[in-house]
Structure 1
């Protein structure tokens, strides 16, 4: 639902926190190392700012609404700049 905390998938540094990238709404990007980053879009409110260090599970934003005017979180994992299937990298949910 709108307002649900959006949590960092892994530890890293916030390299972008803003709304200037078209198509993502309020966006937070966390760089985890030289290979991986995660992007979290369509937030209602960003809680993390550029330069912040975050740990896995830290609240970095709040869920907002997407283009269909429904609650949504756009989540991406990128490896060397290219999107990858997050299901192959994240732990299985129970």
Structure 2
């Protein structure tokens, strides 16, 4: 884990930023899998996030996977938990890895808490 969810103090500038997801170190081109069943709401480049996939899980719940090298899904496509959405890229300034975000009712949630509850 490179960066966790929540408020972080910049070590040099003494300012605070809010990180709405988690940054996960992973090997370049490794598969990125869906954590839950859903429908692809977005699969394209997005400023600051590189290639990004957003899944709609219903009930205003979404997951976001960013800094991908390739997307293997298209908007409107249904995916199951474990399906490959794409591969790990290196568009983040920190090198290869994936940015993962979870939103419920439009509000960012700590993905680590949810993943622990779901047994991931």
**For 1:73, what is the secondary structure of its paired residue?**
strand
Match of 1:80 in 2: 105
Deviation per residue, 1:69-93 (Å, 9 max, x gap): 5101000000111111011111355
* Larger Rg, first or second structure (1 or 2): 2
Residues in 1 aligned to 2:38 and 2:88: alpha-carbon distance in whole angstroms? 20
How many corresponding residue pairs? 92
Correspondent of 1:57 among 82, 97, 102: 82
From 21, 28, 44, give the equivalent of 1:2.
Answer: 28
Structure 2: gaps spanning 5 or more residues: 1-26
Equivalent position of 2:44 in the other structure: 18
Give the superposed CA RMSD: 1.3
Counterpart residue number, 2:5: none
Q: Which runs of 5+ in 1 are unaligned?
A: none
Give the 5 Å matches for 1:39-58. 39-58=64-83
TM superposition outliers: structure 1 runs of 4+ over 2 Å: none
Tell me the TM-score normalised to structure 1 length. Answer: 0.91
Residue 14 of structure 2: aligned partner: none
SS of the residue 1:10 aligns to: coil
TM-score, scaled relative to structure 2: 0.72
Q: Is the 8 A contact 2:49 2:92 kept in 1?
A: no
